[in-house]
Amino acid sequence: MRNDLDRIRDALRFIPVGGHDERVRVAFMLKSELGEAGRDLWNEWRDSRGDDEAASVWKSASETGLLKIGTLFHEAKASGWRDDGIYRVATREEIAERKRIVEARAAREEAEIARERADTVAKATAILKASTEAKADHPYLTRKGVSPVSTLREIEAGAAATILGYAPKSDSDLLTGRLLVVPVKQVNGISTLELIDGDKRKAALAGRGSKAGGYWATERLPDGNGNGLTLLIGEGVATMLSASAATAYPGIAALSSGNLSAVAKAMRECYPAAVLVILADLVKTTGEPDRHAIEAARSVGGKLAIPDFGSDRDRAMTDFNDMAVAFGAKAVASTIANANEPASVKHQPSNDSDGWPEPQPLAVKVEPELYPFDALPDTIRLAVEEVQAFTKAPIALVASSALAALSLAIQAHADAKRAEKLTGPVGLFLLTIADSGERKSTCDGFFTAAIREYEAQQGEAAKPDIRDHKADLDAWSAKRAGLIEKIRQNSKADKPTGELEANLRRLEHDKPESPRVPKLLRGDETPENLAWVLAREWPSGGVLSSEAGVVFGAHGMGKDSIMRNLALLNILWDGGTLSIGRRTSESFTVRGARLTVALQVQEMTLRSFFDRSGGLARGTGFLARFMVAWPESTQGFRLFTEPPASWPALAAFNRRIAAILDQPTPIDDEGVLSPPLLSLSPDAKVAWIAFHDAIERELANGGELYDVRDVASKSADNAARLAALFQIFEQGTGAVSLEVFEGASRIAAWHLNEARRFFGELALPAEVANAARLDRWLIEYCRRERTRIVPRREVQRCGPNGLRDKVALEGALQELVEAGRVRVVRDGRNRNVEVNPILTEGDTI
């Protein structure tokens, strides 16, 4: 077994040397574990032998710093290291290549963040333009006992949603009614907005980095260097309105405690001569001033004002707005006037922050993106919004149900033409990774109502033909039985049978064909039986299942038959031809069939399927054909809502589905579909080629999509399929327009990002993947329960599937402990998991 030095040396080979800051970080990690004995390893890693910088850097590294050896192991694993004891020699070229990949990814990430920020600014500007002055009777302002100022606006929630393309939410709760609009500025102007409704629910606009260092001011800030100016800087809007009204000083809200230092430094840079007073909030549990406020005041040479509620403070009272309500504006003004330098403030770190390190990332992971709700065509978007408001299911799940119904209704009526010789079906394979109980069956039921009604009508209309067929078949069977009996008797009596055999052969060609009755919705069929019904009964169908474990865990997906069935489903997605030979029953051929698949599967079931398939699920391209969604659960937040009296948007959706189904199906006497081709318009084709090529460039080694190149290679095809579906649903005819394709491509790109998230985590070592799943569950639990302490027995009882096993849970917890994300502490005979407060720290408004 290798020793610890070998393990660390092996891990170091996967850490790019980088610049000065990276060398310092690694020095801290090594020194914390090995002390002075780690210097040789560090020099070996950075290819240095005692130069002046190395000596000073190593000397500055502390053995008791926050960066520990666990961080090094996590970063090495994120770069591909496997802690399996196998020594790998990394060449200098390999190390240089890893560094290049890291830098290239960072550049792409920076460009994407810049694009998101620009989009956020555009939407924020549009909302401000559509908003009106905030009125004194706004519910939030009246609840807080404050008056509006000129820098606050308001807008109706519906109008904001129309501009944004999605309904703003706080966690899983929709913002409703009149929304207070709080413009957030960074150095270069407005960067985003905070929206607040009357129940204190709040939401910032989407866009990474748009809020960092941003602030809102109670009034327009003056020019100059700040000579004679006093600025108040605090966390929330209500706090700053109360403080500014009490003192007549301009108030600046950082909108979160962690943002205080950044805003204070920005104000000091703009106003070097100003007096800066930082208004601290109190830690609810201890009554001590928040450490972020103290740090902010010290960082800019400012003063610190602390609200005073006396010795019998109600724990709910934490800020200057609470103080204004309890004791009046004069008490607030007096307390701020007596603010002191933070050095003179006696402060003991609270239990919320004492000893906690900066949490380290578990791995390089793909962040979830907001579902591009506004990319859906209007009729579909409004129906999805209506169903989601009632079911409160994850928005991606609801949208997938709508897309499945769209695909199932249209797939027999059109094929998509991407370019010359590039044509194919429009049917979609959709996969939602979620636990049972997310209400997929309910959502499917809403969007397939017209399909079920169509099936019922067709079944009723076909009853006379079915009865006639039964009579014809009975007569044919009787004739066949008679001929066989005569042949048997003649053969037994040594009489000639040639004419009888010829009659039997002719009769076999005259066997009555059963009438083809449209039946689109299929149950959890085995793949082979699904192929049979598509070949013999109706050539267009769909499997919509909220319990896809029946599919992924079924006998039809057993080890012996999995390769055959994956290939069969792939051919059905492609609309190809497949002959299936049977020994004990009739062989058949599937030609020109069209298939939609929309499944919900639990994460552990899918992982088990991957294990059983031995990589075939990826290797055969089976899962690459699926548009994957991995939404956050809404369970626990779906408080009862009375169903609406009417469903106008859903009714419009189902009317359009019914109209499409009523069109004649292009099917020949052999039961083979021959749908007409739907082309891309010239502009849409140019956009499709750009979309295709942008993805293709990222499939190369080191590219952003290299690890999911199987999925990514199908993304342009899926974008074209979606575009064709949207065009037919909304317009009925005509080439796919540029606008339609752009919406479809955004949705396809979102699903590709979801696939990157899931498959990227799937490729992690088991202990890191388990830790990531547990980390998500713990953070979600703490936010929901308004706590950061979780009993270990609660984790084992209710935590993620697969982590209720003691050994797996202990391994995952150890990973989180090493990353500084949790602690495991004893409470008598029990053990609790404490979550690093930085991970659950919320904004204060």
Contact 93, 16 (CB under 8 A): no
pLDDT in tens, 443-497: 999 999 999 999 999 989 888 888 888 898 889 889 989 989 999 999 888 889 8
| 727 vs 609, more confident | 727
Confidence of residue 195 (pLDDT cuts 50, 70, 90): very high
Answer with the one of 183, 210, 237 that is the final residue of a domain.
210
| 87 pLDDT tier (thresholds 50, 70, 90) | low
Q: Of the ranges 292-301, 601-610, 628-637, which one carries the lowest mean pLDDT score? A: 601-610
Of 762, 780, 795, the position where a domain reaches its end is: 762
* Residue 65, pLDDT score: 59
368 within a domain of the structure (yes/no): no
The residue among 546, 312, 555 whose CA lies nearest residue 442 is 546
Q: Do 248 and 307 share a structural domain? A: yes
State the chain's mean pLDDT as an integer.
Answer: 82
- Mean pLDDT is lowest, of 19-28, 190-199, 242-251, 585-594, for 19-28
- The total number of structural domains in the chain stands at 6
Segment 808-834 mean pLDDT: 84
Read off the CATH number of the domain in which 694 is found.
3.40.50
Range of the domain at 126: 112-210
The mean pLDDT of 321-334, rounded to a whole number, is: 92
The answer to the question of residue 360 being in a domain is no
Section 272-299 average pLDDT: 86
The CATH number for 243's domain is 3.40.1360.10
With cut-offs at 50, 70 and 90, classify the pLDDT of residue 344.
very low
Say if residue 652 is in the same domain as residue 709.
yes
Higher pLDDT, 530 or 378: 378
Alpha-carbon span 201 to 171, nearest angstrom = 9
- The answer to whether residue 619 scores a pLDDT higher than 90 is no
Cβ neighbours of 451 (radius 10 Å): 24
Q: Which of 10-24, 278-292, 675-689, 748-762 has the lowest mean pLDDT?
A: 10-24
pLDDT higher than 50, residue 555: no
Residue with tokens 């009246």, as numbered in its chain: 142
Residues 447 and 407 in one domain: yes
- Report yes or no on 38 lying in a domain: yes
Residue of 140 and 635 predicted with greater confidence: 140
Q: By mean pLDDT, which of 68-77, 376-385, 416-425, 723-732 is the weakest?
A: 68-77
Give residue 208's pLDDT band: very low, low, confident or very high (50, 70, 90): low
Tens digit of each residue's pLDDT (9 = 90 or more) over 646-665: 899 999 999 999 999 999 99
Round to whole Å and give the CA distance between 175 and 231. 32
- HEC readout, 390-409: HHCCCHHHHHHHHHHHHHHH
Q: 610: which DSSP letter?
A: H
Do 733 and 680 belong to one domain?
yes
Question: In this structure, are 521 and 625 located in the same domain?
Answer: yes
Q: b or e along 318-354 (b: 16 or more beta carbons within 10 Å of the residue's beta carbon)?
A: bbbbbbbeebeeebbbebbeebeebeebeeeebebbe
Task: Find where tokens 């979160």 sit.
Answer: 256
Residue indicated by tokens 């103080």: 323
How open is the CA angle 206-207-213, to the nearest 5 degrees?
115
- pLDDT for 684-736, tens place per residue? 999 999 999 888 888 876 677 777 888 888 999 999 999 999 999 998 888 99
Cα 361 off chain centre by: 18
Please indicate, yes or no, if residue 229 is contained in any of the structural domains: yes
Provide the total of helices (H) and of strands (E) in the chain, helices listed first: 33, 25
Among residues 182, 210, 238, which one ends one of the domains? 210
Q: Indicate whether 367 belongs to any domain.
A: no
pLDDT digits (tens, 9 = 90+) for 212-229: 778 999 999 988 998 999
| Range of lowest pLDDT (196-210, 277-291, 677-691) | 196-210
Note whether residue 104 is domain-resident. Answer: no
Higher pLDDT: 353 or 389? It is 389
CA dihedral sign of residues 310, 316, 319, 321: negative
Least confident segment among 175-184, 394-403, 540-549: 540-549
Q: What percent of the chain has pLDDT over 70?
A: 83
- Are residues 486 and 595 both part of a single domain? no
Answer whether residue 364 is part of any domain.
Answer: no
What is the structure's pLDDT at 748?
94
Residues 313 and 438 in one domain: no
Please give the pLDDT value at position 47. 65
pLDDT at 33 over 60: yes
Mean of the pLDDT values across residues 232-246?
Answer: 94
How many residues are given for the chain?
Answer: 845
- Indicate if 500 and 532 belong to the same structural domain: no
pLDDT for res 548: 61
Amino acid at 26: V
Task: Name 564's Cβ contacts closer than 8 Å, sequence gap at least 6.
Answer: none
Give the mean pLDDT of 662-683: 89
Q: Is residue 106 part of a domain?
A: no
pLDDT (0 to 100) of residue 402: 96
Q: Phi and psi at residue 551, in whole multiples of 5°?
A: -85, -55
If we measure between CA atoms, which residue out of 737, 620, 759 comes closest to residue 687?
737
- Strands 153-156 and 216-217 come out as unpaired
Which of 152-166, 281-295, 361-375 has the weakest average pLDDT?
A: 361-375
The CATH code of the domain that includes 780 is 1.10.10.10
Q: Report the share of the chain in percent with pLDDT over 90.
A: 30
Looking at the structure, tell me whether residues 331 and 401 fall in a common domain: no
Are the C-beta atoms of residues 148 and 138 closer than 8 Å to each other? yes
At residue 347, the pLDDT reads: 38
- DSSP string across 541-607: EEEEES-THHHHTSGGGSTTTHHHHHHHHHHHHHT--EEE--SSS--EEE-S-EEEEEEEE-HHHHH
Average pLDDT over residues 72-83: 75
- The predicted model scores a pTM of 0.56
- Whether the per-residue pLDDT at 380 is higher than 90: the answer is yes
What pLDDT is recorded for position 1? 34
Does 480 lie in the same domain as 454?
no
In angstroms, rounded to a whole number, what is the distance separating the alpha carbons of residues 331 and 235?
19
At 133 the pLDDT is: 93
Do 47 and 143 lie in one domain? The reply is: no
Question: Which pLDDT tens digit goes with each residue over 748-805?
Answer: 999 998 888 887 766 566 667 788 888 888 888 887 776 788 888 888 888 876 677 7
**Interval 586-596 mean pLDDT:** 83
Backbone angles phi, psi at 171, to 5 degrees: 55, -115
With beta carbons less than 8 A apart as the criterion, state whether 284 and 318 touch.
yes
Question: Does 596 lie in the same domain as 585?
Answer: yes
pLDDT for res 91 = 61
* Strand pairing class (578-580; 429-433): unpaired
Residue 574 has pLDDT above 80, yes or no: yes
Query: How high is the pLDDT of residue 49?
Result: 43
